[in-house]
Amino acid sequence: MPIPTAHIACKKEDFAKTVLMPGDPLRSKFIAETYLDDAVLVNDIRGVQGYTGYYKGKRVSVMASGMGQPSIGIYSYELFNFYDVSSIIRVGSCGSFQPDLKPCDIVVAMGACTNSNFASQFGLNGNFAPIADFGLVRAAADQCEKMGVNYRVGNVFSSDIFYNDVYSDLDWRKLGVLGVEMEAAALYCNAARAGKKALCICSVSDYLLDMSQNMDADSRRTAFTKMMEVALEIAEE
Ligand code: HPA
84 catalytically annotated:
no
Q: Which of 167, 173, 23 is nearest to 98 (CA)?
A: 173
95 lines ligand 1 (CB under 6 A): yes
203 lines ligand 1 (CB under 6 A): no
Catalytic residue among 84, 169, 206, 216: 206
Q: What is the pLDDT of residues 67-76, one digit of tens each?
A: 999 999 999 9
Report the pLDDT value the prediction gives residue 91, as an integer from 0 to 100: 98
End-to-end Cα distance, the chain: 25
Instruction: Please state, as a whole number, how many other Cβ atoms lie within 10 Å of the Cβ of residue 36.
Output: 21
Report the pLDDT value the prediction gives residue 216, as an integer from 0 to 100: 79
Q: Hey, which of 169, 182, 204, 213 would you mutate to test ligand 1's pocket, going by the most ligand atoms within 8 Å of its Cβ? A: 182
Q: What is the pLDDT of residues 131-160, one digit of tens each?
A: 999 999 999 999 999 999 999 999 999 999
Distance from residue 54's CA to the centre of ligand 1 (Å)? 31
Distance between CA atoms of 96 and 102, rounded to whole angstroms?
7
Report the pLDDT value the prediction gives residue 215, as an integer from 0 to 100: 77
pLDDT along the chain (237 residues), means of 10: 86 96 94 97 94 98 98 98 97 95 95 98 98 98 97 98 96 97 98 98 92 78 89 97
68 lines ligand 1 (CB under 6 A): no
Report whether the peptide linkage leading into residue 4 is cis, meaning its omega lies within 30 degrees of zero.
Answer: yes
Determine contact, residues 181/158, Cβ cutoff 8 Å: yes
